[in-house]
Amino acid sequence: MQFNAAQIALLINGKIEGDETVSVSSFGKIENAQKGQLAFLANPKYEEYLYTTHASVIIINDRLEIKQKIDATLIRVPDAYSAFATILAGYQKMITEQMAGIQQPVFIAATAKMGNNIFIGAFSYVGENAIIGDNVKIFPQVFIGDNVVVDANSILYPGVRIYHECKAGKNVIIHANTVIGSDGFGFAPQTDGTFKKVPQIGNVIIEDNVEIGANATIDRATLGSTLIKTGAKLDNLIQIAHNVEVGINTVIAAQVGISGSAKIGNNVMIGGQAGIAGHLQIADGSKINAQSGVSKSIKTPNTAVTGSPAYDYTSALRSQVLNRTLPNMEKRIVELEQLVQQLLAEKISH
């Protein structure tokens, strides 16, 4: 597919500098883009490539001052990164919209309800009373259990498994091999040292505009629902336990583990490999640094924490500075102790 600079600028409401008729047919990183490709510059660290790239069209920020001659056509926007994301989203949408029909072999239960303009890839399974909304794209080898709802415009990539009774809202994207609705980790200790399984009879509800990465696992609730609220973004390899709630527009990086019944607020940011203990409350706007271990609730909104156990981010940075100075501090203390002993000895001698 080919687009000229004028069409791209119209899509992202940008201002053109250069030849508006120049066309592009693919995308490239600014450091190695070639003629006929569209690139963008958002990070100042890459500004040097603006003057050496072979890209035909480049999206840049409004405030960027050009220091050398540039052969490419420029499109200025308030936020180059967001504008480029808009273009990529539109491009991806055009590709997925071309996917339609039901490949063979598949199994679709007679009681399942199929929307319009859907795509179901080969070797997929759709269970009894499942509801698949309009424009849903289901890639090969996806399992959709009984009474599952996948609402309009959602995409399930290869190998996704959604267990019975779970629900995914509109415009949900779930990447390959993620499991939604597996049993929560519930076992009751017995007097003889064994563990009795606690049946997990709840479900998982994923609200609209959520994206979940590859190989993530979201456990069904013991009772009620594990809830991923509107606009949340989850990275790859995340474990979310039973009855957890993840708030609106919260983002969670890879390898995070959230224990059962934890309640994560809205607009929270959680760095990679962080762990959150069960039954905690994480206030809106909290920022949890990578590899932090959160063992107590965060009750004040917009708090930043780090470390294991996690505590106030600013205090933690001060502690790290002090830790680096400990050898010198020890040396000074020893010298002071020697001086005190010397002064005491002199006083006694007099």
Shared-domain flag, residues 173 and 249: yes
- Tell me the average pLDDT across 257-285: 98
| Confidence band of 350 (pLDDT split at 50, 70, 90) | low
Residue 333 in domain: no
Q: Are residues 175 and 279 in the same domain?
A: yes
> Is 289 found in the same domain as 164?
yes
Query: From the CB of residue 325, how many other CB atoms can be counted at a distance below 10 Å?
Result: 10
pLDDT over threshold 90, residue 228:
yes
* Same domain membership, residue 267 and residue 180: yes
- What pLDDT sits at residue 205? 98
Phi then psi for residue 51, to 5 deg, are -95, -5
Look at the chain and report how many structural domains it folds into: 2
User: Are the C-beta atoms of 288 and 312 separated by less than 8 Å?
Assistant: no
183 part of a folded domain? yes
Average pLDDT over residues 143-154: 98
pLDDT confidence of residue 325:
83
Residue 97 is predicted with a pLDDT of 81
Query: Are 209 and 92 in the same domain?
Result: no
User: How much is the average pLDDT of 128-147?
Assistant: 98
Domain for residue 91, yes or no? yes
Q: What is the mean pLDDT of residues 161-168?
A: 98
Asked, for residue 328, whether it belongs to a domain, the answer is no
Cα-flanking dihedrals φ and ψ of residue 86, to 5°? -60, -45
Alpha carbon distance 259, 279 (integer Å):
8
Give a yes or no: residue 256 inside a domain: yes
The H or E element that residue 126 is part of is strand 125-126
Count of H-run helices and E-run strands, the chain: 3, 40
pLDDT in tens, 16-40: 999 999 999 999 999 999 999 999 9
CA distance 180 to 174: 9
Kindly state the percentage of the chain with pLDDT values over 90: 83
> 189 lies in a domain?
yes
Same domain, 304 and 173: yes
Q: Within this chain, do residues 73 and 165 fall inside the same structural domain, yes or no?
A: no
Query: Regarding predicted confidence, which is higher, 51 or 349?
Result: 51
Annotated active-site positions, please? 242
Question: What is the structure's pLDDT at 34?
Answer: 96
Does the bond joining 309 to the residue before it have cis omega, within 30 degrees of 0? yes
Domain boundary among 44, 66, 97: 97
Residues 190 and 275 in one domain: yes
Range of the domain at 291: 160-309
What's the pLDDT score for residue 95?
83
**Confidence check: pLDDT of 313 > 70:** yes
Read off the pLDDT of each residue in 299-318 and give the average, rounded to a whole number: 86
> pLDDT at residue 288 above 90?
yes
* Co-location of 91 and 164 in the same domain: no
346 lies in a domain?
no
Same domain for 208 and 81: no
- Mean pLDDT, the chain, as a whole number? 94
Mean per-residue pLDDT, 263-283: 98
pTM: 0.84
- Domain containing residue 244: CATH number: 2.160.10.10
Backbone angles phi, psi at 38, to 5 degrees: -105, 130
**Structure confidence at residue 349 (pLDDT):** 73
**Residue 175 clears pLDDT 70, i.e. is over it:** yes
Q: What is the CATH number of the domain that holds 92?
A: 3.40.1390.10
Look at the alpha carbons of 17, 18, 22, 24 in this order and tell me if their dihedral is positive or negative: negative
Neighbouring residues of 187: CB distance < 8 A, sequence distance ≥ 6: 195, 196, 197, 198
* 175 plus 263 within the same structural domain: yes
User: Where does a domain end: 73, 97, 121?
Assistant: 97
Residues 145-162, mean pLDDT to the nearest whole number? 98
What's the whole-number mean pLDDT along residues 288-306?
96
User: Is 142 contained in some domain?
Assistant: no
Check residue 116 and give its pLDDT. 96
Q: Which of 230, 125, 236 has its CA nearest to residue 176? A: 236
**41-90 pLDDT tens trace:** 999 999 999 999 999 999 999 999 999 999 999 999 999 999 999 999 88
Q: Are residues 70 and 166 in the same domain?
A: no
Per cent of the chain over pLDDT 70 is 99
| pLDDT, tens digit, 9 for 90 and up, residues 50-59 | 999 999 999 9
- The mean pLDDT value for 199-228 works out to 98
Examine the fold and report which residue of 81, 97, 113 is the final residue of a domain before the chain moves on.
Answer: 97
Question: Is the pLDDT higher at 324 or at 213?
Answer: 213
Q: Is the separation of the CB atoms in 153 and 136 below 8 Å?
A: yes
